A and B are shown apart, each in its own frame.
Chain A
Amino acid sequence: MGPVIKTVNLTKRYGTLVALSNLNLEIHEGDCFGFIGPNGAGKSTTIKILATLLQPTWGEARICDHVIGYQSRLIRPLIGYVPDYFGAYEDMVVQEYLEFFAAAYNINGSQRVKVVGDVLELTDLGYKRDAFVDALSRGMKQRLSIARVLLHDPKVLLLDEPAGNLDPRARIEMRELLKELRRMGKTIMISSHILPELQDLCNTVGIIEQGQLLYSGPWTDIVRKARGGTVLQVSVAPNPEGAADLLRQNPQVESVEHSNGFLQVSLKDGVSDPSFVSRDLVQAGYRLLMLKEEEANLETAFMRLTKGAVQ
């Protein structure tokens, strides 16, 4: 089966500014794709194009094999778009807000009442159905946004920083909600700056910088790729500086950095057995206080792969 979301050389220019440059992406059914990059990298532009809100300058984007721009009418019922802002309506209560969008998706009559009731229950907002939307807290508004995009049971969710500016509790609740949606089989594309949460939620990620996709694939691969070889954290006594010089002489060691009493030892690619580190240190008379392999995570990979440049 083909990818649910596919872009081929997708390019978007605003005058002379290139917001996206030849973006090639494939996201398969049931995937949760984390889209990360510095501010101004082109994440929101990509999501807006996929949400049919922007026309690409060049290239092609497809959702469920429908081409954006030519078959947007067929695409819109298949997607649910949550922007990085709320889009509040004045003088509307929660239930009206949801009924309003249900009607926009042509869900009418008793079916509308049932659907609205269901999504309110799923997002735990039932007790707020009479509250004005502009009086809700930020966390509630984000949950309401998720409720809104679930009304028509879309196959694809396009979420642009849904956890931005949320407090820790609201963020955790949002993450659990998205996990539940993933279990329901939705294909999710989510952009976020909170990388540990993306790591917990997504199976694939894409890193974009200055409109160019640097990497796309399973997050475990990207972490491995970014790290290169194994990194060890070592604590020794006495004279850690002397211990660092000793290890640097070993041909299997790439580099050693010393900071705050800890040594960060990077082994060369292909070195799979790090036991020589402890052996050499003990034989040289050092007391080994701690030795552990550095945890691989998305944040480190992101920092290593991107330069922090913005457009």
Chain B
Amino acid sequence: MPMILNYLYRLGPGNPILLRVVESGGKRRRDLIIRTAYLGILVAWVVAALITGGGTVGAASLDELAKTSALIFQQMSYLQLALVALLAPIFTAGAITQERDSQTYDILLATPLSNGQIVLGSLLSRLFFVVALLISGIPVFSITQVFGGVAIASIVMSFAIAAATAFVTGALAMAIATLKVGTRRTIFSFYLFIAVYLVGVYLLDGLAYFHPVLPDAAGVSISIERTGTSWFTGVHPFLALRVIFNVKGYAPPDLGSLPESLKSWPWSWYWTRPAGFYISSMFALSLVLVLPSIVLLRRVAQSTISPRTWLLQRLRIVRADRTRKPRGVWNNPVAWREARTKASAARASILRYGFIAIGVGGAVYLAWRFNTLRTDEVDYYITAGSYDPASRQLTVYGKELTRTYLLDSGADVRINGVEVDPRNADALNGRYQISFTSTTPNGTTLNMVTATDIQRGLSDAQVRTFLLGAVTVEFAVILLIVTNAAASTVTREKEDGSLDLLLSTPITSHYYIWGKLRGLVAFVMPLIAVPLISVTVFVASDWFRSIGPNADSNFRWIVFPEALLILPGTLIIVAAFGGILGMQMSLRCRKTVMAVMSSVGIMLGVAATLGWCGNVALRQFGRHTGLFNLILASFSPFTILTVLIDPYSFADAIFVTGPGPGDQAFAGRIVLMVFSWVSTAIYAAIVWAMYRSMVKNFDMTIRRQAR
């Protein structure tokens, strides 16, 4: 075999690292279970879709069958991508620690294997399982071909998007592992990053701001028509997948309809073929991420200091001599360790304070933008006190000068289209932009004044969307952080052996678990404060907006003030639920990775199910069952946040279009408040029961695992 072919063969199919995994991996019981579950879900989905869609299957026309088939294909593609997005990080994140844990890394580096063989072997062996899953799903997808309606090209694109997602995830994990920028804890951060990216970018895509304005036929950007796809479509797997389904309203623009600035390559490619761009760019990015790993693998392994430590030392966050002034230890040392040593580790501190600064700063910025009236963009405006009804004098502020006019006694005065009497003391008492006409030659007497609200820095709808998105993501991140911290809290002590040291002291199980919980609460409280402060900032700003001479004439709460009574309890108790769930799994599992993955999975499942049920109840059934749906919505913190911040979009049946909206809205708020407290009490009872059970079974569980 020519040398180059031999080299390529040893790099790929003949790579000993890959061969080891391919030969042994397929026979493992765990892999069999995951593969069976994956295919089971896909098959169950198809069968369920055929049964439900097919009240029509027996008798419907071919056209209808093709439509059903296309719908099933869409759903399965989303499901497949979601499963790949969920599984690929789990398998590839192992690359970060697995070699070091099993201490085979140094042995591999001491063999004649090239850097390329080691890096590609590790990467491909970890992706092997995910790729095998994808291939095993092909027969299930081919069922959709029976009825037609799905182009082969779409199926290929769907698989290519899933494969590109798996590859880029794996390459990122390998880069983190080989360049020593990660530690054991990186697994969680890596997973969190992917989850936040997928969810956060998907939400941002919903904002019109990220969809450029299309020029009209004359090539001038004065229309308000925006592109269907957004700036994120080409870099997000779910959005790219959406494009290949030709969803109405989410089609990429034609080249001809793009603004001039986006017509050049690569923008034109990015905008007109986002799915193709995603696939190509993700495979290219995988290559870019893998190359430095190949080049630097042995050089980085030889260094005595990791790039991360080097950077932290340069930033003077950690000291090179590995010393620090001791801190005082609390009387409950378990709580102290949980709250202080973990949270104050350099990386944790940076992330925590970063989270707090960004969260609170973002809320203050939003409130400031919302409360800033764009007076610089209007020609003339008035403020509270500008108009004196007794003398009928009106002081008008303009861009260049301030001038006082006399209002004619019969002047036509309108505020937001409503006619008002100029003799009325409250007429024109507020902050408005105005236009006016004068009857006198010198223009000092006005016979018509039209006042309208001055536009805000951010509109009411925009600020609700941003605020809701921010607090939702913040709380989701907090839930993941607390669940992860709790899930690793006991297993890590099992792994490093420090649990035995503690258990041989007089510390009791009650004291130990209580200490852990106390520590977790102390660790997570500053984080929970972030969404609470965000909401409080808006309640306070709303309150100031509603009073005083410049009070908003169309005042509506951005956040209902009862949020201050509901959210502290709800968010803390739900976070405590995440914590106790994580601890329970941490107690039962021997390995941190298993404990973290299982508890985060359960937490995500519970939160997603409750949130989805509440959301569906509010949006789809609200018209029929009214306030009852708010009771259902009260059991998910995410739907509670939704109703408190953006009820007009998510619960419009109750707060906007329902019968007697005023009464219905007030009653809705009361129902939400009362049942939020009820749900909080139920969560608290669950937490307490889990805590008691853990204390009771602690000794038995730990000793059963002891060797």
Contacts and interface: CB of A to CB of B under 8 A. Distances in A.
A79 B504 contact: yes
Nearest to A129: B326
B506 A77 contact: yes
B322 A132 contact: yes
Interface stretch (A50-58, A207-215, A273-281, A288-296): A50-58
A73 B506 contact: yes
A90 B345 contact: yes
A53 B500 contact: yes
Contacts of A53: 500, 503-504, 703, 706
A91 B344 contact: yes
A130 interface: yes
B503 A52 contact: yes
Interface stretch (A30-38, A93-101, A237-245): A93-101
B540 interface: no
A115 to B, nearest CB: 12
Contacts of B502: 104
B362 to A, nearest CB: 29
A86, A93, A94 interface centre (most CB from chain B within 10 Å): A93
A5 to B, nearest CB: 15
A95 B326 contact: yes
A89 B327 contact: no
B506 A83 contact: no
A39 interface: no
A96 B333 CA distance: 10
A148 B508 CA distance: 19
Contacts, number: 100
Nearest to B506: A76
Interface in A56-84: 73, 76-77, 79, 81, 83
B538 to A, nearest CB: 37
Given A54-B706, A103-B332, A103-B333, A93 B323 contact: yes
Interface stretch (B187-195, B335-343, B468-476, B599-607): B335-343
Interface in B320-378: 322-334, 336-337, 341-342, 344-345
Contacts of A85: 497
Contacts of B332: 103
Contacts of A311: none
Given A54-B703, A99-B326, A108-B331, A87 B505 contact: no
A112 B706 CA distance: 31
Given A83-B500, A103-B332, A130 B323 contact: yes
B500 A104 contact: no
Contacts of A130: 323-326
A99 B505 CA distance: 13
Interface string B492-503: 000011101111
B508 A87 contact: no
B305 interface: no
Contacts of A55: 703
B131 to A, nearest CB: 36
A204 B199 CA distance: 67
Query: B interface, by DSSP: helix, strand, loop or mixed?
Result: loop
Given A79-B504, A106-B506, A96 B329 contact: yes
A87 B503 contact: no
Given A100-B337, A103-B330, A129-B326, A87 B496 contact: yes
Nearest to A78: B506
Interface residues of B, number: 34
Contacts of A86: 497
A282 interface: no
A87 B498 contact: yes
Contacts of A99: 326, 328-329, 333
A103 B324 contact: no
A140 interface: no
A104 B337 contact: no
Interface string A92-135: 11111001111111101000100000000000000001111001
A105 B505 contact: yes
A130 B323 CA distance: 5
A76 B332 CA distance: 17
Contacts of A268: none
Contacts of B330: 103
Given A53-B500, A85-B497, A87-B500, A93 B333 contact: no
A59 B311 CA distance: 57
Contacts of A90: 341, 345
Contacts of B707: 14
Contacts of B132: none
B399 to A, nearest CB: 58
Nearest to B706: A54
B507 interface: yes
Contacts of A104: 333-334, 502, 505-507
B324 A88 contact: no
Contacts of B323: 93, 130-132
Contacts of B506: 73, 76-77, 104-106
A101 B333 contact: yes
Contact of A88 (B327, B333, B498, B505): B498
B327 A87 contact: no
B508 A100 contact: no
A81 B502 CA distance: 10
A132 B329 contact: no
A48 interface: yes
Given A52-B504, A53-B503, A77-B506, A83 B497 contact: yes
Nearest to B335: A103
Nearest to B185: A90
Nearest to A135: B322
Nearest to A92: B341
B644 to A, nearest CB: 38
B501 A101 contact: yes
Given A86-B497, A87-B497, A90-B341, A96 B505 contact: no
A94 B504 CA distance: 20
Interface of A: 14, 48, 51-55, 73, 76-77, 79, 81, 83, 85-96, 99-106, 108, 112, 129-132, 135, 148
22 contacts: A14-B707, A48-B706, A51-B504, A53-B500, A73-B508, A76-B504, A81-B504, A83-B501, A86-B497, A87-B497, A87-B498, A87-B500, A89-B337, A91-B342, A93-B323, A94-B326, A96-B341, A103-B336, A104-B505, A131-B322, A131-B323, A132-B322
The 6 A-B pairs at the shortest CB distance, nearest first, are namely A95-B326, A135-B322, A103-B333, A99-B329, A87-B498, A104-B505
Given A77-B506, A104-B505, 12 more contacts: A53-B500, A81-B504, A89-B341, A91-B342, A96-B341, A101-B505, A103-B329, A103-B332, A104-B333, A104-B506, A105-B505, A131-B323
